[in-house]
Amino acid sequence: MHRDIRLLTDPFVPGSLIGPFTDACNGLGGVCTFVGEVRGDNNVEALELSHYEPLTLSGMEELADKAAARFDLIGLLMVHRIGRMHPDEPIVCVSAAAAHRRSAIDAVDFCMDHLKSAAWFWKRELRAGKWSWIEPRAGDYADLSRWK
């Protein structure tokens, strides 16, 4: 299986990652990609993601292993930003390649539910010059519970 798992501190262009990823996944029948961006609604000026460095990348690798085993993937791309970001900048890009579309779609959904609610990131938003921490919502935990 082709894997590309990264943490980035600089902005990225999702399309520049997805093309090479799909090119490396021979025999794919379907690709699903999700890109999450910093929302600028409610006067958000910036978003900052901190992480626990000794566990973050290895945790993402473990999540990729679980997704690959569960969904019979040909490839998985998982890129996540850390540090300070601004509205409309990509935060995360997850792309899965599989022989069939359902495996690719479900793998992306599985990875995003885990990254959103059970990952090694702490988020805070800057609004009107004040920082506030963001916790996962009840819906995020409900989404995650579907996979147990």
Question: Is pLDDT above 90 for 137?
Answer: no
**Cβ-contact 17, 78 below 8 angstroms:** no
For residue 65, CA distances in Å to 18, 61, 142 come to 20, 6, 22
Fold of 2-142: Aldehyde Oxidoreductase; domain 3 (3.90.1170)
Residues 62-73: tens digit of each pLDDT: 999 999 999 999
Q: Band of the pLDDT at 141, cuts 50, 70, 90?
A: confident
Distance, CA of 116 to CA of 103 (rounded, Å): 20
- Enter the tokens of residue 78: 């998982």
Kindly state the average pLDDT of the residues 80-100: 97
Sorted by sequence, the CB contacts under 8 Å of residue 35 that are 6+ apart come out as: 14, 90, 92, 93
Q: Band of the pLDDT at 18, cuts 50, 70, 90?
A: very high
Question: Is pLDDT above 90 for 148?
Answer: no
Distance, CA of 35 to CA of 21 (rounded, Å): 14
- pTM score over 0.75: yes
